[in-house]
Amino acid sequence: MEVEAKNPISLRVELAGIQMKNPVMVCSGTFGYGEEYSQFMDLGKLGAIVTKSITLLPRAGNRPPRIIETPAGMLNSIGLQNVGLERFVSEKMPFLQEIGIPIIVSISGEDMGEYVELAKRLSDVEDIAGLEINISCPNVSRGGMMFGAEPKVTHELIEAVRGATDLPLIAKLSPNVTNIAEIACAAEEAGADAISLINTLLGMAIDIHTRRPKLANITGGLSGPAIRPVAVRMVWQVAQAVELPVIGMGGIMTAQDAVEFIIAGARAVSVGTANFVNPLAAVEIISGVKSFMIRNHILDINDLVGSLMKEE
């Protein structure tokens, strides 16, 4: 603790102009609209909150069952259930505005026009720090992942949204592609301010006794510790390919996991499935990252970003 007393540890990071007191965020779709977790923790301790993805109109999502456990993870097929733009602004934003940390609103749509309209209208809402452009949801029949599957389509969408708002844009990428670095470069060229990855891997589980899929939607998104090595690899690849800050996610359960992503090149990390296991996961990770820095005499978290040392 002597290091901390003489030289205060800095966890502060800047992400696309967004100032964060620490690099730990919570993933869209795993933290509701923030208020759901307020009884368990002081939300003000987080680096930022990324809201559940919203669409112009309310969505009921896919029919159940739509969440199942898997070895070292879970499959979900929620289908972007959300309250829609108007209720989000009138019912959810007032609570979020009182927390005092950056609020990043995740948006999704069935077509390019919906993304553009959401970005335009959210630009007029106070205290939104940035927009996460969800082009990677695998659990909807239209929109979502189709916009993040090819560089050309990704470029067209991000460019269109960029023209509709001055808010920082974070492109959330899918791992279900051949070359994720190409998609990231397309988003960068189109005007994205940051890249977040990875969203869930497409998976499936079968009940061998009924010979039916365990999810009503048949397939779903795999998350949790099982996908972490894939996520770390993709974060490292994208961090090498773009100049933009990268947000890493995918199976982060502990501070050690978070540090691994940061060393791979992530400027910030986002905690998802861990929130279902332990509602305090994100704040415990913040504390654990700070303890790691103290033990290793690291004064500034930014010194860890992309510090991977390859074997010679």
DSSP reduced 3-state for 301: helix
Q: What is the 3-state secondary structure (H, E, C) of 246-260?
A: EEEECCCCCHHHHHH
Say if residue 65 is preceded by a cis peptide, omega within 30 of 0: yes
Cα 41 from chain centre: 20
And the tokens for 176?
């279900």
* Active-site choice (75, 80, 137, 222): 137
Q: Nearest-CA neighbor of 108 among 67, 75, 78?
A: 78
* Cβ partners under 8 Å of residue 298, min gap 6: 9, 292, 304
**Cβ(70)–Cβ(223) below 8 Å:** no
Exposure letters 244-278 (e unless 16+ CB within 10 A, then b): bbbbbbbbbbbbebbbbbbbbbbbbbbbbbbbbee
DSSP reduced 3-state for 56: coil
Which whole-number Å values give the CA distances from 50 to 16, 78, 249, in the listed order?
14, 17, 12
Mark whether 185 is an active-site residue: no
**Cβ(196)–Cβ(168) below 8 Å:** no
The set of catalytic residues is 137
